[in-house]
Structure 1
């Protein structure tokens, strides 16, 4: 496979960065995962808005985002790898500096863009279980899409090889946070609930889009801190991420749910699919551009 590294397209086995990169030494790095639909990178502007906000928070200086330049890299990688569409990881690490914590900004980050084939099928339904591994608190004010992924890895190791199941993190206080690689939602009496960022959950790009989409379909939305009993008493529930899209939950902790037959799931999924080949930002749903 070919990847992109700091302006060059090279074979993956030829890629190398310095061992003094502070993304490697101290986890000072960020990434975005997204996919294309008939060549269109869905919600690309939202992904890069988050990437730039995260970089600013940890002192990585990035060049101004230009959609045309970014799309050129995306389409070149698709062509080089003989792919119509792909699963992209756009990775930025702080760059090379001497060993030791630094208080100064990083002006020469490494940018690595990796593409791989999309999964042939993504499940429409999964079961959910609560993990014993608790969700750690963010390193800063809010959780960033950063290289600090040990908590997720420990959750995955606890769950094991169960592709039809998603593990759900609870906070130290026993509140629902998110899945190992997903945000979670449930519906009760016409209201869509999802844990707030105060739970330590990542404010996923697909999460933001679903909340905006729910408003257009007439569903009320509520973000907050909720115990497991709130989810266990739900009428239906689902999870989301940018690659697997929206996946219905057929059960939570053994309690059966309607899964893909849930009315709200079907409504939101149908609306979601209408925009996959056109939208650059969730804000276009209300006629706005990215802030």
Structure 2
């Protein structure tokens, strides 16, 4: 596979950074993950804007313009052997000659990107939904930034793996925030509920698409704080991300999601939203070809 590192395209196995790179030493950097369908990046402008927001939030000047980033992404996509891809971008504050927490002066940022096959949920996961667990959200106070310092998320994700589950849903002060690597939606009495964008959660690109599609197709929705009690009493739960797309959660902490004979099964609103999501990215691809 081909990678991009500091202005050069080279085999991924040959891409090397200094052990003094601040991304390695301090997690001092930001990143993005961009899904690609049939070699067409999905919501590229939105991903690049979120990258800019992250870099602004950590006071790291963006080393490339939006046009330059697009050229890098499209070049990597064109070089890959697979059609559906996941492009990873990372920008760190670079490698100084010493280890010091303060920002270095006159050090160029490290810019790295590569693409890999897009891994989406299996047909079995689509059909049966996934199991998740919950845990207290103990992360820092700027979860709206897509920073590379992800140890807390890694530990949450491993909690899910250890429990034989796909994700950990996080709760802070009695309210839903997000998943370890996803946004979470709740359906209650035919209304789609989404936690508000603030410093406690990452503003997901797929999160935005879901709300746009709900508005387009007349699905009732509310954006507001969601209490833990509402999460546990939900008729449906969904997780969304660039790679998971829209995926039903059917078990939470060992208990089936939903009520009656439909408990523990993907609900009708999740199926409807996934169909709309697939049709939407197909529509975007057709517009790109026009």
TM-score by length of 1: 0.84
Does structure 1 retain, via aligned residues, the 8 Å contact 2:39–2:78? no
1:11 equivalenced with 2:15 (yes/no): no
Task: Write the mapping of 1:1-291 to structure 2, written as runs, cut at 5 A.
Answer: 1-63=1-63, 65-67=65-67, 69-97=68-96, 98-102=98-102, 108-119=108-119, 121-122=121-122, 123-124=125-126, 125-131=129-135, 134-140=136-142, 142-160=143-161, 165-171=166-172, 173-198=173-198, 200-253=200-253, 254-257=255-258, 258=262, 261-277=266-282, 279=284
Taking a change above 3 Å as real, the CA distance of residues 199 and 113 of structure 1, as seen in their structure-2 partners, is closer
Taking a change above 3 Å as real, the CA distance of residues 48 and 103 of structure 1, as seen in their structure-2 partners, is same
Taking a change above 3 Å as real, the CA distance of residues 261 and 126 of structure 1, as seen in their structure-2 partners, is closer
Number of aligned residues: 276
- Cα deviation for residue 247 of structure 1 reads 0.3
SS at match of 1:160: helix
Name the CA distance, whole Å, in 2 between partners of 1:54 and 1:35. 19
- Cα deviation for residue 239 of structure 1 reads 0.6
Taking a change above 3 Å as real, the CA distance of residues 79 and 45 of structure 1, as seen in their structure-2 partners, is closer
SS at match of 1:213: helix
SS at match of 2:87: strand
Q: Which of the pair is proportionally richer in helix?
A: 2
Larger RCO of the pair (alpha carbons < 8 Å, separation 6+): 1
SS at match of 1:146: coil
Taking a change above 3 Å as real, the CA distance of residues 193 and 103 of structure 1, as seen in their structure-2 partners, is same
Unaligned stretches of 5+ in structure 2?
Answer: none
Deviations 1:36-74 (A, max 9, x none): 11111001111100101111111111145334x434333
Does structure 1 retain, via aligned residues, the 8 Å contact 2:193–2:226? no
Deviations 1:229-268 (A, max 9, x none): 2022222121111011010112223124346652221222
Taking a change above 3 Å as real, the CA distance of residues 72 and 162 of structure 1, as seen in their structure-2 partners, is farther
Deviations 1:114-139 (A, max 9, x none): 211223753322122213xx213434
- Cα deviation for residue 183 of structure 1 reads 0.7
TM-score by length of 2: 0.84
Taking a change above 3 Å as real, the CA distance of residues 152 and 5 of structure 1, as seen in their structure-2 partners, is same
